[in-house]
Amino acid sequence: MSERPFVLGVLVSGSGTNLQAILDAIEAGTLQAKVGVVVSNVATAKALDRAKAARIPAIVVDHKAFSSREAFDAAVVEVLQAHRVDCVVLAGFMRIVTSTILDAFPNRVVNVHPALLPAFPGVRAQRQALDYGVSISGCTVHFVDAGTDTGPIIAQSPVPVLDSDDEASLTARILKKEHELLPIVLQWLVEGRVVVEQPEGGRPRTRIRLGP
């Protein structure tokens, strides 16, 4: 009897390039997982077409049909649990998740953010980096908590900010790093190498095991 695969549930709102990076890593054998379902709050999201092309269930849960964030998240949780998801990946998902999802998947909801957190949380992080005049930005993969981009950081990758950069060019270069980093971190999760620690009197943080 074969071992059950590690199942990812990917939440998306847009074009799905990070979803594609996950699918490409699975195809290449560098990410030993499967995408069990792709869920979008936007019916026209290109990410849904990517999922369908890969023969992955692509499900729309329209947030506008619900009276509250919690009710919407409860519907999303129902879909994720129906597909026996082990880890939830926010890959360009433009909704703030509530405790409804976080409690259903404790320390199993991962986000990729286009900045070196804790700098520049929230929307348009690349614009924030340019406005602040930093010379280095990048991307962060982190666990999601109840705050906005405040969960324990798992890994980061730096990207230089060039004098010639505008928001579009910086966004494009950071996105390439996201495509590299996210599948690596997900493989660490598959291997059970990411440990969340709670220091006494401090914030939760992660530690990466170097070996099995």
Indicate which residues carry an active-site annotation: 113
d(CA 26, CA 9): 14
Provide the Cα torsion 177, 182, 187, 191; round to 10°: 120
The answer to whether 56 and 38 have CB atoms below 8 angstroms apart is yes
d(CA 192, CA 198): 17
The answer to whether 23 and 54 have CB atoms below 8 angstroms apart is yes
Helix (H, G, I), strand (E, B) or coil at 58: strand
Q: Are strands 58-60 and 34-40 parallel, antiparallel or unpaired?
A: parallel
